[in-house]
Amino acid sequence: MTNRMIYLASKSPRRRELLLQAGIAFECINSEIDEAVKPNESPKSYVERMAWNKSQAGWETTSRYQTWSVLAADTAVVVDQKILGKPIDNKNAIEMLSELSGRTHKVMTSVAVTDGITTQLATSVTDVTFAKLSQQDIEAYIATGDCYDKAGSYGIQGYAARFVEAIRGSYTGVVGLPLYETARLLDSFEKLNSKD
């Protein structure tokens, strides 16, 4: 794992918690970008483009401090090749959770690391199977407020964990930052920087 400080181009408290858990020293920066999906864009292409663009936007805000790399990530919940974003209201959250109920969906998280010259990207794809949810299950979950600011209207690390029958892949990827892929990218940049 890297011994250097990095910039985290994300506002996500879950990504901050995961980096702390992994013992990675970081400072948060802003990286506002247009997150609209392009026509006919695949979910994987979308999350990879978002992570890449966030890393570049983050680098542009910090380019005068060129000793730290910038880490960015993006997560999408995907069912039937459709990207489920963050809910805009209770009705939208109910629709998403109803769509996920009793089915297996994919959670894709892409991670990008850049030093302003080289950018490397890795993508984690995890299958998550939800139990069949009753209307009462969904309404009780929405009442907790935990569905907001989360792709697909749920966070696996919270109350919604009780809905998950099975997971195949990266748990931390579903939370929002796959630590295995992240560690490999940061190790790669550590080796590159050690040659300078």
Q: Is the entire prediction scored with pTM above 0.75?
A: yes
Residues 94 and 115: their CA atoms lie apart, in Å, by 41
Each residue's pLDDT tens digit, 185-194: 998 887 766 6
Other Cβ atoms within 10 Å of 34 Cβ, number? 6
Each residue's pLDDT tens digit, 63-103: 655 678 899 999 999 999 999 999 999 999 999 999 999 99
The set of catalytic residues is 74
Q: Quick check: 175 and 161 in contact, CB under 8 A?
A: no
Residues 180 and 35: their CA atoms lie apart, in Å, by 25
Reported CATH class of domain 6-194? alpha beta
